[in-house]
Amino acid sequence: MATLGFTFGTMGSGKSTQALQIHHNLRARGLHTILTTQLDRSEGRVSSRLGVSADAEIVESATDLFELVRQRVKTIGRVDAVICDEAQFYDPAQCEQLARVVDELGVDVYAFGLLTTFQGVMFPGSARLMELADHRTEIQVEARCWCGERATHNARFVDGHQVVSGQMVVVGDTGGPTQGEVTYDLLCRAHWMEGARAARGSQLELLDEDEAREGDHPDRSGPIEVDPERVPTPLHVTANTPGAST
């Protein structure tokens, strides 16, 4: 019985390393695997910080993962497993395609990704995988906040200041206006929230304190990317609409 597994962890928790390990182990036994990543890693490779890498197929937002696997089964006769790196960036509809790969093609899927964005809410793809997966596993590594507590939250910094607004994905060479140096770090929840409050405070400094406090929590009715031009797509629309995974 094939299964859909979602393994999640913070940055630097070894998700890519584990994806590569599974890929290697199955291939070493003569099994046919497909390794996918997202266009973030534009060279079409999955590489781990420990120095291992392998060729991967790039998943773009238009990629139909069910069709990709079905065509591969047609071409080479069988596919035993699909291993997905950077699955947090997959579209919720693509996560549903992965579930169909399991159920209709009988192929195991191992998906790896971050759970939450630098804004402290789930990536849409990760949320859908949590909903659909047969197994959900958190990678536990002893990452520490600067204060010594266990680091559990991804934070984005621009010129050293934590931010909670901006594009979900920052692509290096977009040619857009320079917004300062973007870096990431892991924090404990308390320090993540402290930084997030400070960031929201500087956005809301014209409002009085009570109003600013109301803005403490992420606004789930809106888009994850804080971009007023962008129309929000509530997750449940994708989740409950038949044929959404076209």
Residue 147 or 244 with smaller CB distance to Zn ion: 147
- Tokens (6 digits) for 50: 């420990």
Q: How far is the CB of 188 from Zn ion (least distance, A)?
A: 3
CB of 94 to Zn ion, least distance (A): 34
Part of the chain binding Zn ion (CB under 5 A), chosen from 45-53, 144-152, 213-221, 234-242: 144-152
Structure tokens at 168: 């979900």
Binders of Zn ion in range 83-142 (CB under 5 A): none
| Selected binder of Zn ion within 3, 104, 147, 159 (CB under 5 A) | 147
- Whole-number Å distance between alpha carbons of 191 and 199: 12
Instruction: Return the number of the residue (101 or 145) whose C-beta is nearest Zn ion.
Output: 145
What is the nearest approach in angstroms of Zn ion to the Cβ of residue 161? Answer: 16
Identity of the residue, 23 or 153, whose beta carbon is nearer to Zn ion in the bound complex: 153
- CA gap 203, 124 in Å, rounded: 25
User: Given the rule CB under 5 A, which of 6-14, 44-52, 54-62, 184-192 is the region that contacts Zn ion?
Assistant: 184-192
Task: Report the alpha-carbon distance of residue 43 to residue 60 in Å, rounded.
Answer: 13
Instruction: Name residues whose C-beta falls within 8 Å of residue 37's C-beta, 6 or more positions apart in sequence.
Output: 44, 45, 46, 56, 57, 58, 59, 84, 85, 86
Q: Does 34 bind Zn ion (CB under 5 A)?
A: no
Output the six-digit token pair for 15: 């998700």
149 contacts Zn ion (rule: CB under 5 A):
yes
> Nearer to Zn ion by C-beta: 137 or 152?
152
CB of residue 186 vs Zn ion: minimum separation in angstroms? 9
Q: Which is nearer to Zn ion, 84 or 188 (CB)?
A: 188
Q: Which residues are catalytic?
A: 86
Is 145 one of the binding residues for Zn ion (CB under 5 A)? Answer: yes
| Near Zn ion in 185-204, by CB under 5 A | 188, 191
Q: How many CA atoms lie within 13 A of 196 on its CB side?
A: 23
Give the whole-angstrom CA distance, residue 219 versus residue 149.
Answer: 27
The pair phi, psi for residue 18, each rounded to 5°, is: -65, -40
153 sits near Zn ion (criterion: CB under 5 A): no
Q: How many residues bind Zn ion (CB under 5 A)?
A: 5
CB of residue 219 to Zn ion, shortest distance in Å: 25
Closest-by-Cβ residue to Zn ion is: 145
Q: E strands within the chain?
A: 4-8, 33-38, 45-47, 53-55, 57-59, 81-84, 108-113, 135-138, 153-158, 161-163, 182-187
- 189 by Cβ neighbours in 10 Å (0-12 / 13-18 / 19+) ranks as middle
Residues in contact with Zn ion by CB under 5 A are 145, 147, 149, 188, 191
